Amino acid sequence: MSTTQAEDATAAAGAAADTDLVTTHLANGLSCQVPASSPLAKLLKKQRTWVGPDAKERLAILRKAKSVAIVGASPNPKRSSYFVATYLSQSSDYRLYFVNPNAGTILGQKAYASLADLPEVPDIVDVFRKPADIPAVIDDVVAIGATTIWVQLGIWNEQAAYYGEEKGLTVVMDRCIKVEHARFHGGLHLLGFDTGQITSRKTIR
């Protein structure tokens, strides 16, 4: 192959790569398409651009809700889902449902194998699952007609967040429902600092 032919082949390969575009969602709500192989695409992939409900919107979600289903709830007291379930059962008026196909009961209540088995459609589906599982959970949430998915603190899947919104869901991600509930009813300052106030008041309905 001549030098010219090699250069042409390289250029063609580059052009083909450039046609492989990815849609990038920006923090201002806009989106753009950039070549998947470009440095910009790689940089944006590492940065979070999705922005969920703000503090007032999260408060409204919690106040409006009457029922919460916890997907990935565990009967193990050492698991964070157990701690959150215990808090909600003691400090809120929510009707709680626990979803875990491998558990019989959690906190003395029946554990359900799936969201489809619940006796009602929960207002909030709180999720303790690994990031890769979130899209499948979103499909389950949509299938039962629930409107809000709340993905717990430390779990982040940005594309799943956009996917959930495209499906018409309200999406909260990488936030602890226990911390948010406590923050809004006096246990924590709005910014997350402990106020030193310990209360069992159930002010969020």
Identity at 46, one-letter amino acid code: K
**How many CB atoms sit inside 10 A of residue 176's CB?**
18
| Backbone torsions φ then ψ of 67, nearest 5 degrees | -140, 145
What confidence category does residue 68 fall into, taking pLDDT thresholds of 50, 70 and 90? very high
Among 3-7, 108-112, 159-163, 189-193, whose mean pLDDT is lowest? Answer: 189-193
Domain that holds residue 125: 55-184
Residue found by looking up tokens 């990031």 in the block = 131
The CATH number that applies at residue 156 is 3.40.50.720
Q: For 21-31, what is each residue's pLDDT tens digit? A: 655 555 444 55
pLDDT at position 86 is 97
| pLDDT value for 38 | 77
Average pLDDT over residues 171-198: 69
Instruction: Give, in order, the Cα–Cα distances in Å from 189 to each of 33, 183, 185.
Output: 40, 6, 9
Query: Are 29 and 61 part of one and the same domain?
Result: no
Judge contact between 33 and 168, C-beta under 8 A. no
82 and 10 in a common domain:
no
Q: Please give the tally of structural domains in the chain.
A: 2
69 and 7 in one domain?
Answer: no
Report the share of the chain in percent with pLDDT over 90: 65
